[in-house]
Amino acid sequence: DPDKTLVEPTAPPAKRIAKQPAKHVQSVIQRVISISSNASTSDSDISSMPSTDPSQEGDSIATWRKALEPHQGSLFDALVVVSHKLVKHIVDQETAAKDTLDDYRLQGEKVVKILEQSHLEAYGKQVAALEKHKKKMIKELNRQADKLASVVEQLADQREKGRVAAEEGDEMDEKLVELMGMVA
C-alpha cells in the first residue's frame, strides 16, 4: 500500500536534480575554491584584469549575473577564478618558454662570438706563420739569385776569356799559316 510506506516516493530524475543543485554545486565550488586557494592568484587579481571596454563589459556581466540563481553565481565566480588561474598558468608557461628561447639565443650568440674570436686568433697565427715563411723564402730566393748571378758572371768571364783566348788562338793560327806560307 503506497500510503503506508515508510520511504518517501522517489521523484523522477529531473525533479531530484532540481531539488538539490545548490548542495551539489556548493560542494563542487568548495572543492574548486579550496584547490584554487592554494594557487598564487587571488580574487583581487581577477578584478584587476584589464578589459577591452569596461563600461560595456561590466554592464553585460552585471545583467547576466542578475539573471543567475545564487548557486549559479557562485559557480560563475569559481569558474572565473579557475579560468584566470589557467590563463595565468598559460602566460607563465609562454613566458618561461620565451625566456628559455632568449637564453638559448644569447648563449648561442656567445658561442658564435667565442668561435669567431678563436678563428680570428687562429687565422692571425696562420697569417703570421705564413709571413715568417714568406720572408724566409724571399731571403733564400735572394741568396739563390745572388749565387746564380755570381755563376752567370763567372760564366760570362770564362766566356770572355775563352773568346779572347780563341781570338788569340786565331791570331796565332794566322801567324802560323803565314809563317808556313813563307817557309814553303
What pLDDT is attached to residue 58?
A: 64
Distance in angstroms (rounded) separating the CA atoms of residues 45 and 57:
17
Q: How many CB atoms lie within 10 A of CB 10?
A: 8
Letter string b/e over residues 18-29, b meaning 16 or more CB atoms within 10 A of that residue's CB: eeeeeeebeeeb
Q: Which carries the bigger pLDDT value, residue 184 or residue 175?
A: 175
What pLDDT is attached to residue 35?
A: 54
Q: At 112, which amino acid appears?
A: V
The pTM of this model reads 0.40
Q: How many residues does the chain have?
A: 184
Residue-wise pLDDT for 6-44, tens only, equals: 555 554 544 444 444 455 555 655 665 555 455 444 445
Q: Are 85 and 36 in contact (CB under 8 A)?
A: yes
Residue-wise pLDDT for 85-133, tens only, equals: 999 999 999 999 999 999 999 999 999 999 999 999 999 999 999 999 9
